[in-house]
Structure 1
């Protein structure tokens, strides 16, 4: 049986001035779902890191480009999807192609300069998945109830 969810999708120009708009969006959606103030702050930081990464690195010197952000709101979690090559999300296709982010994975480090943003995202979120076949898609999951985190192998990687 499929779990019902609401899905919100936004496309913004790949420009840093739109990061604040997306922070406000995640704040509003997470607040509506019942996340705590601290959890909302973590969501805002992780989302900002992922979007800033896409804005700064996806299009290099090109002035054109879009970042697509999807918010899947379930009863027990929020999934935030960020794609740096535009296009709408085909959730079934993404799920078939996506894989976990493992701390220290060399292909992820090569994916973007630095890599500290991914380390921070992984520390703040409960689950992080990445697909870099055509551009980069990052899916970040934050569970609504603390007691569900880390049970049943939900947490892909841990940081000390």
Structure 2
């Protein structure tokens, strides 16, 4: 698998009014990558949920919290990482350290609104969560043709 990718990282103040900046940034990136209108809308909802929850979580103990959003642009997919600890990350290393969350894990910040985690999981192709020195949500959305091919390989093997 080709690991060549472009990487974009943004740091925003953990304030609700900056979530729209992430939505606009994501919209531009996804459009450039060739996602269709409905997929872009799904992506915007998922990132809004992750960022809103990160903003709420970052503000619990710190009035000056920050949210980092990293975008990995691959030929066949978009990978998005949202972290509320305010620290930049080595995208490849960070995503390897994020495992599948356990149902009994305390990921209350995504459950408080009731639909946050459900929405993110239903709109993205893969979701992983890491809860350590803050919460990191890692999401993948495949370009349409790639997802079909990937699912076909799973079924045929």
TM-score (norm 1): 0.85
Query: Are the equivalent residues in 1 in contact too, given 2:110–2:117 (CA < 8 A)?
Result: no
Aligned to 1:122: 121
How far is the alpha carbon of 1:91 from its aligned partner?
2.5
User: Are 1:25 and 2:25 matched, yes or no?
Assistant: yes
1:9/1:89 Cα in 2 relative to 1: closer, same or farther (>3 Å)? same
Aligned to 1:89: 89
Aligned to 2:105: 107
RMSD between aligned residues: 2.0
Aligned to 2:16: 16
Aligned to 2:39: 39
Where does structure 2 lack aligned partners over 5 or more consecutive residues? none
Q: Could you tell me how far apart the structure 2 residues matched to 1:124 and 1:108 are?
A: 22
After superposition, give the CA deviation of every residue in 1:23-72 in whole Å (9 maximum; x if it has no partner).
00000000000000000000000000000001112221632010000000
Query: Are the equivalent residues in 2 in contact too, given 1:126–1:149 (CA < 8 A)?
Result: no
Q: Could you tell me how far apart the structure 1 residues matched to 2:139 and 2:37 are?
A: 18
Query: Are the equivalent residues in 1 in contact too, given 2:107–2:131 (CA < 8 A)?
Result: no
Q: Could you tell me how far apart the structure 2 residues matched to 1:152 and 1:136 are?
A: 32
In the alignment of these two chains, the number of paired residues is 151
Shift >3 Å, 4+ stretches: 108-113, 148-153
Q: Could you tell me how far apart the structure 1 residues matched to 2:91 and 2:10 are?
A: 15
How far is the alpha carbon of 1:112 from its aligned partner?
4.7
Where does structure 1 lack aligned partners over 5 or more consecutive residues? 154-160
1:98/1:56 Cα in 2 relative to 1: closer, same or farther (>3 Å)? same
